[in-house]
């Protein structure tokens, strides 16, 4: 048993209470010192570093408001929509809690997207923070699942049909697809069984996984230290330190950054409150107008689209047509043959065979037959795999791959420097075009399908994947600026 720490009899009541608690719960105080008052962070954080703490704030808002919503919500297909209306109309302040939760869902993705973009700009995924980035991407993936399942719960028209469309996508997976879709729905159509499954996952299972990943993300971050806009390590073996071993370019997270983050929190809460009180539907982007209509399995809305934060990925899914799959097949074939030329002799034929098989599965032969008006029906009938897999399946693969590829970013970036500050100027244009393309894909995802939109989505999809897959090549090009030995900082 550890010895109790003594305190002066003249100490204040607060100091005596703190001493009493510390003597009885020393682990909590040790963790407080390790992760707050004793955790040294770079002293040159800018406004991009607000979004990590804001993500944590929105998570708390979602959990608290979700608890109050569950008190009155009925996870029953016959009662769910009416229970939401009851919350909005009859429960004291229920409308405020519901709008906080629905607006909070969009706010969560806004701050997470900005948080991830900051990591992209400053190379926060580079060594030694690969695991921090992987945990962050896992959080993003789980957050998407949480949002999708929660979206069904109001049981409105768009909730119902959006879930119907997304779950049906799983049926495109060869062999296991239909059974997997049936397992997810719990029925042959989206029904009461689906609602109960999604409710249990949204309220219990997924939040537990999300909280665990958030804790792992923070612990991994504090083990290796935070990155900074210069990409300079402040805790490395050669970094300057004071007599106590603290980095000279760092400051304690508490009280400096806890007070610093109050500015970001204050601005965020003002904007958040303005949206809740004046535009909670955000013109149909945060809450679609069709979702104020009870779900009707017999009446399909004229245009079904997911919530705005899923639309960039949904746009990529819609971009994959049979014709475009043929184009992708040619790209895969060309990449395999030209890329394989650099490999050792024994690996060349392996890569070429894989490229040929992948191109055939993508539908190269059907696309060529269609383009040149050839009839290959007999060949396809004899060897069905030559007809290629349905383009719908490749759309699902592309949509999933657009998220999964983020996990590999630490090994795709071969730039000799971390931060965008010291990269060639044209790199900023590449990042800027990437953001514009992502926003355009998001916009097209909420629009009805059109020939022009399809072509733009296909071009955007190629750029999105090209940005990452070609990063080992383009990230090394250009003239890089010298990185300073210590971080640059101007007091403000």
Q: Supply the pTM of this predicted model.
A: 0.90
Does 23 reside within a domain? no
Beta bridge partners of 363: none
**Cα angle vertex 305, ends 302, 310, to 5°?**
175
Look at residues 264, 294, 324 and tell me which one is the last residue of a structural domain.
294
**Confidence (pLDDT) at 37:** 83
* pLDDT at residue 145, as a whole number: 94
Backbone angles phi, psi at 22, to 5 degrees: -65, -35
Asked whether residue 98 falls in the same domain as residue 193, the answer is yes
Q: Give pLDDT, residue 103.
A: 96
At 63, give phi and psi (nearest 5°).
-65, -45
Verify that 232 and 330 share a domain, yes or no. Answer: no
Give the integer Cα–Cα distance in Å for 44 and 419. Answer: 13
* 8 A C-beta contact, residue 58 and residue 111: yes
Please report, in range form, the residues annotated as the binding site for a ubiquinone. 222
Same domain, 198 and 244: yes
- Are residues 274 and 339 part of one domain? no
Q: Which spans in 175-321 are helix H? A: 177-185, 192-200, 206-224, 258-278, 311-319
Whether residue 211 sits in one domain with residue 98 = yes
Give the pLDDT of residue 215: 95
Which CATH number does the domain housing residue 214 bear? 1.20.810.10
Please count the structural domains in the chain.
2
Annotated binding-site residues for heme b read 101, 115, 202, 217
- The annotation places the binding site at 101, 115, 202, 217, 222
Same domain, 277 and 326: no
Task: Tell me, yes or no, whether 83 and 214 share the same domain.
Answer: yes
Instruction: Specify if 376 maps to a domain.
Output: yes
> Could you tell me if residue 77 is inside a domain?
yes
Among positive and negative, which fits the CA dihedral 371, 372, 373, 377? negative
Check residue 370 and give its pLDDT. Answer: 56
Contact between residue 100 and residue 88 where contact means Cβ atoms under 8 Å apart:
no
Q: Note whether 176 and 208 are same-domain residues.
A: yes
Query: Are 250 and 314 part of one and the same domain?
Result: no
- Listed in sequence order, the residues at least 6 apart from 422 whose beta carbon sits closer than 8 Å to its beta carbon are 230, 231, 480, 481, 482, 483
Contact 147, 286 (CB under 8 A): no
pLDDT in the model for residue 273: 97
329: exposed, middle or buried (Cβ count in 10 Å: 0-12, 13-18, 19+) = buried
pLDDT in tens, the chain (492 residues): 556 777 888 888 888 888 888 888 888 888 888 888 888 999 989 899 999 999 999 999 999 999 999 999 999 999 999 999 999 999 999 999 999 999 999 999 999 999 999 999 999 999 999 999 999 999 999 999 999 999 999 999 999 999 998 898 888 887 788 899 999 999 888 999 999 999 999 999 999 999 999 999 999 999 999 999 998 888 877 778 888 878 888 999 988 899 999 999 999 999 999 999 999 999 888 999 899 999 999 898 888 888 999 999 999 999 988 777 666 666 666 666 665 555 566 656 665 566 666 655 555 555 555 555 555 444 344 444 444 556 678 888 889 989 999 999 999 999 999 999 999 999 999 999 999 999 999 999 999 989 999 999 999 999 998 899 889 889 999 999 999 888 887 765
Contact 232, 20 (CB under 8 A): no
Identify whether residues 283 and 324 lie together within a single domain: no
Q: What integer pLDDT is reported at residue 383 of this predicted model?
A: 42
Q: Is 359 helix (H, G, I), strand (E, B) or coil?
A: helix
Q: Is residue 300 part of a domain?
A: no
Give the number of other CB atoms < 10 A from CB of residue 118: 19
Same domain, 260 and 317: no
Asked if residue 72 is part of any domain, the answer here is yes
- Please check whether residue 18 lies inside any domain of the structure: no
Considering the domain boundaries, does residue 27 fall inside one? no
The two counts, helices (H) then strands (E), for the chain are: 21, 2
Tokens 């000279």 locate to 248
Say how far apart CA 407 and CA 167 lie, in whole Å. 24
Of 263, 294, 325, the domain-final residue: 294
DSSP 72: T
Q: Is residue 21 part of a domain?
A: no
Decide the pairing of beta strands 250-252 and 40-42. antiparallel
- Buried b / exposed e across 448-462, counting CB within 10 Å, b at 16+? eeeeebbebbbebbb
- The reply to whether 275 and 334 lie within a common domain is no
Range of the domain at 466: 310-478
| Helical H segments across 383-424, by residue range | 391-404, 409-412
Which stretch of DSSP H or E encloses residue 483? none
> Which of 294, 328, 356 is at the close of a domain?
294
């Amino acid at each position: 048993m550890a010895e109790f720490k003594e305190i002066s009899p003249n100490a204040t009541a607060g100091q005596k209470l703190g001493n009493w608690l510390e003597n009885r719960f020393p682990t909590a105080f040790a963790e407080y010192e390790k992760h707050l008052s004793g955790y040294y962070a770079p002293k040159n954080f800018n406004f991009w570093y607000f979004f990590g703490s804001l993500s944590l704030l929105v998570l708390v808002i979602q959990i608290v408001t979700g608890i109050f919503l569950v008190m009155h919500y009925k996870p029953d297909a016959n009662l769910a929509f009416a229970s939401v209306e009851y919350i909005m109309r009859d429960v004291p302040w229920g409308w405020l809690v519901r709008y906080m939760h629905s607006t909070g869902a969009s706010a969560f993705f806004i701050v997470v997207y900005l948080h991830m973009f900051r990591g992209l700009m400053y190379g926060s995924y580079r060594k030694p923070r690969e695991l921090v980035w992987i945990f962050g991407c896992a959080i993003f993936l789980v957050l998407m699942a949480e949002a999708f399942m929660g979206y069904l719960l109001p049981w409105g028209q768009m909730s119902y049909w959006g879930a119907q469309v997304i779950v049906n996508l799983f049926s495109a997976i060869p062999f296991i697809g239909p059974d997997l879709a049936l397992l997810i729905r719990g029925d042959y159509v989206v029904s009461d069984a689906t609602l109960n499954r999604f409710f249990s996952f949204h309220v219990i299972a997924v939040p537990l996984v999300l909280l665990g990943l958030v804790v792992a993300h923070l612990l991994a971050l504090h083990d290796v230290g935070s990155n900074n806009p210069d990409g300079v390590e402040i805790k490395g073996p050669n970094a300057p330190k004071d007599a106590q071993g603290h980095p000279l370019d760092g400051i304690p997270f508490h009280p400096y950054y806890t007070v610093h983050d109050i500015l970001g929190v204050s601005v965020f809460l003002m904007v958040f409150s303005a949206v809740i009180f004046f535009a909670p539907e955000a013109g149909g982007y945060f809450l679609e107008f069709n979702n104020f209509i009870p779900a009707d399995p017999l009446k399909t809305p004229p245009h079904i689209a997911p919530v705005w934060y899923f639309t960039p990925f949904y746009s990529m899914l819609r971009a994959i047509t049979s014709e475009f799959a043929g184009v992708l097949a040619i790209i895969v074939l060309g990449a395999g043959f030209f890329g394989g030329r650099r490999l050792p002799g024994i690996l060349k034929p392996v890569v070429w065979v894989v490229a040929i098989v992948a191109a055939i599965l993508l539908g190269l032969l059907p696309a060529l037959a269609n383009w040149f008006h050839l009839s290959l029906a007999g060949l396809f009938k004899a060897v069905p795999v030559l007809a290629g897999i349905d383009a719908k399946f490749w759309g699902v693969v592309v949509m999933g791959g657009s998220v999964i590829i983020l996990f590999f970013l630490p090994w795709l970036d071969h730039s000799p420097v971390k931060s965008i500050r010291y990269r060639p100027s044209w790199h900023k244009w590449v990042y800027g075009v990437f953001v514009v393309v992502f926003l355009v894909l998001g916009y097209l995802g909420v629009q009805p399908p059109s020939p022009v939109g399809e072509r733009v989505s296909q071009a955007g999809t190629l750029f999105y994947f090209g940005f990452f897959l070609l990063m080992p090549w383009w990230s090394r090009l250009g003239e890089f600026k010298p990185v300073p030995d210590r971080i640059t900082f101007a007091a403000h």
